[in-house]
Structure 1
Amino acid sequence: MDKILLRLVGLFKGFFNSQGIDYARMITIVEAKLTMDKRRVYMNWRQRQQQKENTNHLNSVLFFYTVMGLFIATFLFAVPSLLLGMILVHTYVLFMMSMTLITDFSTVLLDTTDNQVILPRPVSSRTLFMARLVHILIYLLQFTIAIAIFPLAVTFYKYGFAAGIVMIITVILTVLMAVFSTYILYLLIIRFSNESRVRDIVTYSQIFMAVIFMVSFQVLPRMINLSQLSMQFELHWYAYLLPPVWMALTIEAIVTLNFDVLHISMIVLAFIVPILTFWVMNKYLAPSFAQKLAAMNNGDSIKKDNSTTIIQKEKKPVSSIVSHIICKAPAEKSSFEITWKITGRDKSFKLQFYPGLAYIAVFIFIFVFNSGNNIAAVWNNLPASSSFLWFFYIPMMTVSSSLMIASFNENYLAAWVYHSMPVGKPGMLVSGMAKSLFIKFFVPVFTCITIFCLYVWGLPVIDDALFAFCNNLFCFLIFANLSDHYLPFSRQPNTQQQTGKFLKALLQLIIVSVTVGLHYLLIFLKLPWLLWVLIPLLMAACFLLIKRLQNLSWAQISI
């Protein structure tokens, strides 16, 4: 697909040369960048990376986007209103392209390596910037085609040939708006922030995008009733300021042959604004963006490092305080603090684990609020039900995955430090990691859920909350003892074995289901006093499981 798009770029060779851009050098740079795109591992495929370095991961990502476009096409086919359908499609394209720029393609926008490698050669900054821009446009056009191919097919079939042709143009113009808005966003971020802050913003944007995908696929189809959709809706005055509305009204004008003042104004905005923004990027953003990137990398890091040191001296980290309370051995304390800090800083861990936390809300919605009744009716009947059991136990289904993720890290070679330490019982490192993961991720979530349950069901569920907490801790330690024992962040990510993960997940689900079933049986038999009898027994079992982890020898550690 990229070769076809490069040929289309060749049609504008005269325009590029008239703007002082060396077309031949620009195309050479773009071809090299597109080749690198095919070999790059994308956000959603990082944890599935295999040993083959030259695998074309881009095709897998494009297939995923095509499936998403199929969902949008189905929605467009069901909506009776042309205007509403086009607004939704163009809004989706604008959002997806902007988020794709911010997430998987952020390295291109923030990478200053080109300035060091290419600019010393006879390549002007304008040519380099245009090569970057053409690369981004081709990259995004591939994603746009993947997303829009099915909506375009529906438009051609449902509204005719003219509507389909105009939609192709409006979708391309929407992509230009996405590129411009993303560049403006990065310029603002770079203007008021430093490099590390920019990286954090990109990371959390990736997490936000992954969460949106998961929640949308699970929740929105259950909340939308297509049979109740109506073509009667009203656009407020501020809606005419949004680019998707311009594009939708442009298509409506062509289909209905309605060229009143409103539609003509929207057509002018739809065509003039994206072209104008493209000219602004070429004319003004080329020098300023490169200068700000260079300034971002050459900031006064010494001053910031000194201020960070002062803050650390004044305030003791939370991880250090907690580790001294629940850990005794120095090795266990060190493992606890290392795990706590790396899970808060490591981008790979955040991208793999944090989106899974969103599934806590998704599972609660599926099991509690998706019983076929009205959500308001389910909410009103909650105090009379035993649904609080789902709230108490669902978090463990997600948090337990942290045990496997925390064993892998891109800087795994630094794990030599474990073997250089005088540690007779490496199990202390494993138990410190398990304690850190449970306290950092499970305890806050469980506390929030308990507060919610106390608000809905009242104080009578306090004994159930304590029993559920002990049960969850017991399950978590069972998982830690049954799984392969790795030292924290000591394994190479692309050597992660996928075989057996389904069986492990199934086993975890069975264990959690059994504990939920036993808890429900105690409630059904109306034996609340038995909960208080079992709590000390569970705590004793947890103590023994922790001791078993701590006593692991080097022969039992997988290296």
Structure 2
Amino acid sequence: MNKISLLLYKLVMLPAGLYRNAGIDTSQLALILRYKLMMDDRHPNTLQQTRGSGKKEGISNATLGTMLMALVMGMLNLIAFAIGRDAITHMGFFFLAYLFMLASVLISDFTSVLIDVRDNSILLPRPVNDRTILMAKLLHIIVHMSRVTIPMCIPAFVFLFARQGWQPAFSFLLLALLGSVFTIFIINAVYLLVLKITTPARFKSFIAWFQVVFIILLYGGYQLFPRVADMENFQQFSITEYSYAKLFPPYWFAGAQVWLGGQSIARGWLWLLLSLMVSIGSTWLVIRYLAPSFNRKLSLISGSGGGSGSGGGGGGGSETPAPAAGTAGGNFSGSRKGIAGFLAAILTIGTAERSAFLFSWRWTARNRGFRMRVYPTIGYIIVWIALTLFRYNETAEGSGLRGFSGSFSGLLGLIYISSFIIINAMQQAGYAEEYRASWIFYSTPVRRPGLVILGSFKAMLAKFFLPVALLILALGLMWKGPEALPNLVLGMSNQLAVACIILLMSKKSLPASKPAVMDDRSGNFLKGIMMLLVTGSIGILHFLIHEFTGVVILLAMLSMLACWLMIGRIARITWSELTPTV
């Protein structure tokens, strides 16, 4: 347990006498809570999962990583004070951002705490009374909430204290607490709504997809909000001009903050009363109605298949049970209807290669850990493209699309920046929480593991390279016409060549065969730098010769020949070349 968790642990255990008077065994409570907090430190947060689980010593500080992420988001929320011309607008945007960010973080990293079904199987059979178990869960939630809300509130507290004095700063802490309680109510309500309209297995999928979307929105907001705050229209904006804004809780918290801070506002006492009512009322609803219903739903989650851990917990389980061998879902070597079977029949040769293709295709679709590490990269590329169009719209004459297409460097940049999608997917395909199941590859009569590696590689190309290549090809032909085709072919072929080079030069492994803790941080950083340098250098050289069509066609043919030779070399990888998994 790190020092911050230890401090919070001691603070919540101070009223031990009150706990004993309520019939709670404080020694058992302290032991249960202590180990819950220790397990939190070993659970990677959402940002760590998107980069791939790190070494064990890195995960041990996962709580500090969550707090640092919350502190950064709290600093990002200060941009709200640059939007609008009056205090109510500043605080309205701030509380809107605060409640949204807090809810997003809690759904992403708090799900493993709120949806913790391990107590049912570990503690209930033990001689521990229900009150002790319930209090341990409540104190765990309080500590976990504190590790998110405190760092998120520190930047605003310091800003208000330095700019307006102690009264607005401390009134902000009160309203932030009320807003946090209201957020818990919203999360419970959303969870129950999702569980009502879908299955427990789909609920886990919902949480995993929300985590991916949250990371993309966080990155996009970090890039976009500073630009928005500088716009003159937003600086002159005021939410008081829109009467319907008063119907939403962020306005109530903002109005209460302005009134408690000593500034004049109409019906300030009403906004404070509404803030208190919505927070206290939501707490009563959670305890009286939502919590019992939610606990009943938890039993469905714990009893359902489809992956280990909670939706936000492990990040590595599959969402649906693996189909039985011999069924349509489990027959990897045979023909199968659908896009995966169609592509496998076209792109692969031989049973081993086709089986690896289908396995990798389906495993990457079902595994939440893989999605958390790969899919945000796609979002980053989308955000980069959107911001590029935005910048061209500001600097170029005419529309953003005409400005973007007016320079060939924009099209080449789009081609080579998209290569990070396939490279990241290819690298992450070897890591899995359930890596011990990879013994099946060693039990098959395959002479060369290169056939399995090549099948998995082709699956990554079909899923993450082919759609992007077709999209860029269509956009390039629309923007530049048929004369851009040689450069488009060269760019795509270079992407494939770089992916092949990285696969051959890196440590070779079978798909889903390495534990996530082997994902070396320093090695990944150096590989990322080298990948950036190699891809950027090739893109620059391509731009220098893009006007010489004959040279481009010749280089495209050489690049495709190199790809063909390297793909043949991948198929010839021997067992002795594989990296040990343990």
TM-score under structure 2 length normalisation: 0.85
Tell me which residue corresponds to 1:557: 578
Check conservation: 2:507, 2:579, Cα contact below 8 A: yes
Letter in 2 for 1:246: W
Tell me which residue corresponds to 2:317: none
1:122-145: CA deviation from partner (whole Å, max 9, x where unpaired):
666576445434422321122111
Residue 548 of structure 1 and its aligned partner are, at CA, apart by 0.8
Aligned with 2:372 (options 328, 351, 354): 351
| Shift in alpha-carbon separation, 1:518–1:258, aligned structure 2, 3 A | closer
Deviates more, 1:515-524 or 1:48-57: 48-57
Residue 333 of structure 1 and its aligned partner are, at CA, apart by 1.1
Is 1:92 aligned to 2:115, yes or no? no
| Shift in alpha-carbon separation, 1:259–1:365, aligned structure 2, 3 A | closer
Tell me which residue corresponds to 1:423: 446
* Residue correspondences, number: 553
Is 1:385 aligned to 2:407, yes or no? yes
Taking the aligned partners of 1:362 and 1:28, their CA distance within structure 2 comes to: 46
Letter in 2 for 1:331: A
Taking the aligned partners of 1:282 and 1:247, their CA distance within structure 2 comes to: 23
Is 1:167 aligned to 2:172, yes or no? yes
Aligned with 2:199 (options 181, 194, 200): 194
Residue 435 of structure 1 and its aligned partner are, at CA, apart by 1.1
Tell me which residue corresponds to 1:280: 285
SS in structure 1 at match of 2:418: helix
Aligned sequence identity (%):
25
1:200-236: CA deviation from partner (whole Å, max 9, x where unpaired):
1111111111112222223433454177753541342
Taking only aligned residues, the RMSD between alpha carbons, in angstroms, comes to 3.3
Residue 352 of structure 1 and its aligned partner are, at CA, apart by 0.8
Taking the aligned partners of 1:219 and 1:147, their CA distance within structure 2 comes to: 20
1:14-62: CA deviation from partner (whole Å, max 9, x where unpaired):
99899x8848476664444233323332222343532349834212321
Letter in 2 for 1:492: P
Within-5 A mapping of 1:26-45: 29-45=32-48
SS in structure 2 at match of 1:409: coil
Letter in 2 for 1:99: S
Taking the aligned partners of 1:424 and 1:268, their CA distance within structure 2 comes to: 74
Is 1:181 aligned to 2:186, yes or no? yes
Tell me which residue corresponds to 2:427: 404
Tell me which residue corresponds to 1:146: 151
1:221-268: CA deviation from partner (whole Å, max 9, x where unpaired):
34541777535413423322222211110011123453643x232111
Tell me which residue corresponds to 1:214: 219
Taking the aligned partners of 1:306 and 1:538, their CA distance within structure 2 comes to: 39
Within-5 A mapping of 1:78-89: 81-89=86-94
Taking the aligned partners of 2:36 and 2:322, their CA distance within structure 1 comes to: 38
Within-5 A mapping of 1:506-517: 506-517=529-540
1:165-196: CA deviation from partner (whole Å, max 9, x where unpaired):
11000000111011111111111122222221
Taking the aligned partners of 1:96 and 1:362, their CA distance within structure 2 comes to: 19
Taking the aligned partners of 2:529 and 2:31, their CA distance within structure 1 comes to: 50
Is 1:485 aligned to 2:490, yes or no? no
Is 1:57 aligned to 2:80, yes or no? no
Residue 153 of structure 1 and its aligned partner are, at CA, apart by 0.8
Check conservation: 2:80, 2:94, Cα contact below 8 A: no
Check conservation: 1:363, 1:394, Cα contact below 8 A: no
Residue 68 of structure 1 and its aligned partner are, at CA, apart by 3.0
| Shift in alpha-carbon separation, 1:540–1:248, aligned structure 2, 3 A | same
Taking the aligned partners of 2:482 and 2:402, their CA distance within structure 1 comes to: 18
Tell me which residue corresponds to 1:505: 528
Letter in 2 for 1:381: G
Taking the aligned partners of 1:253 and 1:477, their CA distance within structure 2 comes to: 63
Check conservation: 1:130, 1:282, Cα contact below 8 A: no
Deviates more, 1:7-16 or 1:407-416: 7-16
SS in structure 1 at match of 2:522: coil
Aligned with 2:119 (options 105, 114, 118): 114
| Shift in alpha-carbon separation, 1:194–1:104, aligned structure 2, 3 A | same
1:475-534: CA deviation from partner (whole Å, max 9, x where unpaired):
22222222221111111111222333334333323332343234323333xx33444444
Is 1:318 aligned to 2:339, yes or no? yes
Tell me which residue corresponds to 2:351: 330
| Shift in alpha-carbon separation, 1:180–1:447, aligned structure 2, 3 A | same
Check conservation: 2:392, 2:403, Cα contact below 8 A: no
Residue 85 of structure 1 and its aligned partner are, at CA, apart by 2.3
Check conservation: 1:126, 1:286, Cα contact below 8 A: no
Tell me which residue corresponds to 2:272: 267
Letter in 2 for 1:289: F
Unaligned runs of 5+ in 1: none
Aligned with 2:360 (options 339, 344, 348): 339
Letter in 2 for 1:325: I
